[in-house]
């Protein structure tokens, strides 16, 4: 049972979600078929006090995160890391639960609605993706793609993928001087554009848009970066 993403976008809502679902999974593990091997990894990610700061569980980190007197850059990083770890483990758990084990109450609590098996065509999103630089490695740009309506997640709008075209030229170009091409497509939140030593010092320009089987969305804002 592949799971796309039952997790709330906002951290405060995510906190409420895990406060409910973690005890629920432990209480109903036998009926749902959740293994101790999974829970032995998940539970300390949620609750793990009396240890070094970098090992604290979510329930210890969250009060530090929302308190102005204890909120630090390190705490913020740990909160983001712990959330990612919890989500990854819960996805594995949800993937392992047979559909036939889930009651209507389980689906409501865990936010796992029954999947509609009727195929439908989805329109491209009415807005455009946003590009930022994830990292530069040598002459290579690794771009991060974000859904501006859900910037805290790595997910695309449902049924959408992304097309990105690029152009390499001098710095400060705009309008008709930008002749885009070299289209790449992806369904992931990172995409790589590799260049050569001959391109070093030039500027790479990128424009993104969503697309589905029904067609293309509007081009988004142009993003540019110098090729190292």
| Mean pLDDT for back-to-back runs of 10 residues, the chain (228 residues) | 70 96 97 96 97 97 97 96 95 92 95 75 94 96 95 90 97 95 94 95 98 95 97
Residue 133 CA, distance from chain mean position: 16
- What is residue 22's three-state secondary structure? helix
What is the model's pLDDT at position 151? 87
- Superfamily of 130-226 according to CATH: Immunoglobulins (2.60.40.10)
pLDDT, tens only, 114-152: 876 666 789 999 999 999 999 999 999 999 999 999 988
Please enumerate in sequence order all residues whose Cβ is within 8 A of that of 216, keeping only pairs 6 or more positions apart, or say none: 124, 163, 209, 210
Comma-separated ranges of CATH 2.60.40.10 domains in the chain? 130-226
**Sequence-ordered list of residues with C-beta below 8 angstroms from that of 35, at least 6 positions apart, any chain:** 29, 96
**Beta pairing partners, 209:** 163
Q: What is the mean pLDDT of the chain?
A: 94
Question: Residue 108: which residues within 8 A CB-CB, separation 6 or more?
Answer: none
pLDDT per position as a tens digit, 203-224: 999 999 999 999 999 999 999 9
Q: Which two tokens stand for residue 64?
A: 């530090």
């Amino acid at each position: 049972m592949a799971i796309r993403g039952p997790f709330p976008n906002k951290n405060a809502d995510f906190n409420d979600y895990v406060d409910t679902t973690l005890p629920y999974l432990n209480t109903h593990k036998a009926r749902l078929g959740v293994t101790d091997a999974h829970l032995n990894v998940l539970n300390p990610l949620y609750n793990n006090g009396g240890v070094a700061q970098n090992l604290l569980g979510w329930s210890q980190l969250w009060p530090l995160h929302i308190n102005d007197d204890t909120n630090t850059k390190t705490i913020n990083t740990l909160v983001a890391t712990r959330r990612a770890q919890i989500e990854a483990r819960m996805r594995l758990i949800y993937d392992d639960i047979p559909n036939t084990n889930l009651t209507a109450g389980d689906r409501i609590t865990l936010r796992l609605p029954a999947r509609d098996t009727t195929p439908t065509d989805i329109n491209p999103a009415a807005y455009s993706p946003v590009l930022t630089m994830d990292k530069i490695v040598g002459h290579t740009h690794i771009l991060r793609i974000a859904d501006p309506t859900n910037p805290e997640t790595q997910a695309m709008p449902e049924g959408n993928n992304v097309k990105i075209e690029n152009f390499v030229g001098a710095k400060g170009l705009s309008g008709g001087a930008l002749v885009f091409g070299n289209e790449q497509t992806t369904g992931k939140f990172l995409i790589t554009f590799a260049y050569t030593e001959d391109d070093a010092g030039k500027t790479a320009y990128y424009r993104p848009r969503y697309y589905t089987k029904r067609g293309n969305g509007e081009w988004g804002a142009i993003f540019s970066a110098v090729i190292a």
